[in-house]
Chain A
Amino acid sequence: GDSVTQMEGPVTLSEEAFLTINCTYTATGYPSLFWYVQYPGEGLQLLLKATKADDKGSNKGFEATYRKETTSFHLEKGSVQVSDSAVYFCALSDLSGGSNYKLTFGKGTLLTVNP
């Protein structure tokens, strides 16, 4: 079945540091890939997505590139801020099973950014 593996952290960085959170996936079909972010006490928010190989998703300074050859979708940001402190989830959606776009999530990575 489908699966997502991401570095679990926690990750602690200083403000303005470079961020990378690794994510790799296994899927039977040709999935779309997502990063969601969960701020304390809130629901999940879509951060960015990519639907085909070599696509780059970007939002709020975050980027991730869909790498089919390495089955990866690593999240990066050049300069993190304290407000980026949250849990980040990598996820995939694989339509090969029909019309169900269910998301398969990684376990999440807690990011803490210190001033």
Chain B
Amino acid sequence: DSGVTQTPKHLITATGQRVTLRCSPRSGDLSVYWYQQSLDQGLQFLIHYYNGEERAKGNILERFSAQQFPDLHSELNLSSLELGDSALYFCASSPVDKETQYFGPGTRLLVL
């Protein structure tokens, strides 16, 4: 157990819908990263938040957004969902100024 929690574990929804994925980092970790794992693209970095502020964006679609709240949990919002958004979404957290990232169990999203 990494100490990072993600909810829900599974999510099934329809095209055009909007969903919110939640991540709680390890106690004391200020950084939260989001990654998408799909069969065709592999594991790709989406976005990084540090202590409530966006630090960097990767291959994140405009339909996707994220935020980190004062209690340091983070949410990834996916809207106008398409079939191709079906994937495993991971969040990871890391301590201040440290490289090692600890991954949550992931949320498996299926868009029908």
Bound complex: CA of A108 vs CA of B104, how far in Å?
18
Interface 1/0 per residue, B19-63 and A, CB below 8 Å: 000000000000101010000001111001010000110100000
A49 near B100 with CB under 8 A, answer yes
Bound complex: CA of A97 vs CA of B31, how far in Å?
16
Q: Which residues of A contact B90 (CB under 8 A)?
A: 43-44
A102 near B33 with CB under 8 A, answer yes
Given A43-B2, A89-B43, A107-B42, A102:B99 Cβ within 8 A: no
Q: How many inter-chain residue pairs (CB < 8 Å) link A and B?
A: 59
- B45 to A: closest C-beta gap in Å: 4
From A51, A98, A101, B94 is in contact (CB under 8 Å) with: A101
Bound complex: CA of A36 vs CA of B99, how far in Å?
13
Whether A79 is near chain B, meaning CB under 8 Å from some CB there, is: no
Whether A65 is near chain B, meaning CB under 8 Å from some CB there, is: no
Q: Which of B45, B94, B103 has the most CB of A within 10 A?
A: B103
Q: Which of B35, B58, B92, B104 has the most CB of A within 10 A?
A: B92
Interface 1/0 per residue, A9-32 and B, CB below 8 Å: 000000000000000000000001
B2 near A105 with CB under 8 A, answer no
A42 near B105 with CB under 8 A, answer yes
Q: Which residues of B contact A100 (CB under 8 A)?
A: 48, 55-56
Whether A112 is near chain B, meaning CB under 8 Å from some CB there, is: no
In the complex formed, the residue of B with least CB distance to A101 is: B99
- A3 to B: closest C-beta gap in Å: 11
Whether A85 is near chain B, meaning CB under 8 Å from some CB there, is: no
Whether A104 is near chain B, meaning CB under 8 Å from some CB there, is: yes
Whether A103 is near chain B, meaning CB under 8 Å from some CB there, is: yes
From A43, A97, A102, A106, B103 is in contact (CB under 8 Å) with: A43
The residues of A with any CB-CB pair to B shorter than 8 Å are 32, 34, 36, 42-46, 49, 51, 89, 93, 95, 97-108
For this complex, 6 residue pairs linking A to B, each with C-beta atoms less than 8 Å apart, are A43-B105, A44-B92, A45-B103, A49-B100, A99-B55, A101-B99
